[in-house]
């Protein structure tokens, strides 16, 4: 991979982060070079061309470069990605960046986790009269339910601790 190969891709991209240029070159050169070798060569090439003024750094965070002849219009050549969660367009900082923000990444993570929960467990099971009576009766006998009582009821009714706790505050200790 010679400097003119890098130049060719840089001219195609017009505005780029190092990883973008590396990714483009990998398509043609990964049969011969490792990703690290390509990255090293791209970095050296960028450094050399910044010093001659052929390239200009147009942004610091993330580091973004352009060929000088596109210096004025560099923003027009930015490649933005649409966030699959909120739809907002954003500038990816790595090739693996999928979401615009940590908030959206977390939201997606929570959604995936939720989707793994079996459908029958997603909808809270309705409380039967008998179950409700048992809850009320236990509460009446004990005066009030301790965490230990709620845990036992949860086990007995095959419900979560939270479900029992919620029902208790909803029905008994209003």
Of 103 and 160, which CB lies nearer to Zn ion in the complex structure? 103
Number of residues that bind Zn ion (CB under 5 A): 6
Does 86 bind Zn ion (CB under 5 A)? Our answer is yes
First to last CA, the chain: 74
Site for Zn ion, residues 45 to 84, rule: CB under 5 A: 83
Decide: is 104 part of the binding site for Zn ion (CB under 5 A): yes
Does 91 bind Zn ion (CB under 5 A)? Our answer is no
Contact pick of 18, 56, 58, 85 for Zn ion (by CB under 5 A): 85
Determine the interface stretch with Zn ion among 5-13, 31-39, 52-60, 99-107 (rule: CB under 5 A): 99-107
Of residues 59 and 85, the one with the C-beta less far from Zn ion: 85
Pick the closer one to Zn ion by CB: 42 or 100: 100
Site for Zn ion in 120-159 (CB under 5 A): none
Chain contacts with Zn ion (rule: CB under 5 A)? 83, 85-86, 88, 100, 104
């Amino acid at each position: 991979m010679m400097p003119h190969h890098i130049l060719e891709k840089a001219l195609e991209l017009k505005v780029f982060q190092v990883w973008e240029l590396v990714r483009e070159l990998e398509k043609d050169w990964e049969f011969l070079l490792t990703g690290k070798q390509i990255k090293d060569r791209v970095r050296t090439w960028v450094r050399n061309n910044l010093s001659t003024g052929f390239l200009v750094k147009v942004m610091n965070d993330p580091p973004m470069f352009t060929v000088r002849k596109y210096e004025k219009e560099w923003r027009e050549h930015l490649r933005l990605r649409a966030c699959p969660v909120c739809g907002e367009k954003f500038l990816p900082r790595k090739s693996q960046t999928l979401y615009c923000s940590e908030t959206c990444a977390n939201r997606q993570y929570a959604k995936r986790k939720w989707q793994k929960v079996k459908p029958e467990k997603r909808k809270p099971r309705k409380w039967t009269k008998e179950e409700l009576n048992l809850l009320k009766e236990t509460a009446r006998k004990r005066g009030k339910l301790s965490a230990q009582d709620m845990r036992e009821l949860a086990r007995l009714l095959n419900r979560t601790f939270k479900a029992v706790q919620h029902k208790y505050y909803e029905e008994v200790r209003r």
